[in-house]
Amino acid sequence: MRAVRDFVRGFRVLHFVGPCVTVFGSARFDEHHRYYAMAREVGGALAKMGFTVMTGGGPGVMEAANRGAREAGGRSVGCNIKLPMEQGHNPYLDCWVTCHYFFVRKVLLLKYSYAFVVMPGGLGTLDELTEALTLIQTRKILRFPVVLMGRDYWAPFLAMVRTMVEAGTVSAGDLDLMLVTDSVPDAMAHLEQYAVEHFGLKRRKVPHASRWLGEKQMVK
């Protein structure tokens, strides 16, 4: 029942967020770190393209992406998680939900997005990245673009995937599911081609909230 409650609450709050791009990444980088600055630039660029920036709602890279979106005048939302060390939501969110279970959170982070930008991160980020790739690979979700920011950081992961290709456990074409870059403009150009143009996305007015369903309208 707790999982059902999390799903219902998440669907109500996030129904009006519009086309999103989810930014995954570590909660451990502070604002002086180069990956924080990169994520902030990514968030601003996504907002200028018309996307709502969605993150896990916490600190670090997640905060940076939400902050960049807010500063660019865009929408910024988060799906936070209850942890023993109590991760609070960052202050740059227009709306957010807090989930008890990681699997509920991952569904919400994937459901509303047309692309995924993966910043450097730890085991949680790797889990989110491989889940997205698996769902695309198995065609459980559409072929949404996946961008990995930070060539040096992701080089060992790509080497591992190439080892899998050599062993025959994944297909060589699975490498094409990802763009790896250090350039924010190149990342945005990739999303423009494979998300905006491919899916025919257009700016539209946000629908009105339904009081009967207990939905909340976003301010922006």
Q: What is the CATH number of the domain that holds 84?
A: 3.40.50.450
Q: Domain range for residue 146?
A: 2-197
Q: Count CA atoms within 13 Å of residue 214 on its CB side.
A: 6
Within-domain flag for 143: yes
Q: Identify which has the larger pLDDT, 167 or 143.
A: 167
**Residue 217 pLDDT > 60:** no
Q: Distances in Å between the alpha carbon of 220 and those of 15, 26, 45, 76, 133?
A: 14, 27, 18, 10, 31
In a domain, 218, yes or no: no
Q: What is the pTM of this model?
A: 0.90
What are the residues facing 24 on neighbouring strands? 118
Mean pLDDT of 2-19: 89
Asked whether residue 141 is assigned to any structural domain, the reply reads yes
* Residue from 123, 112, 132 nearest 177 by CA: 132
Count: domains in the chain: 1
The answer to whether position 146 is within a domain reads yes
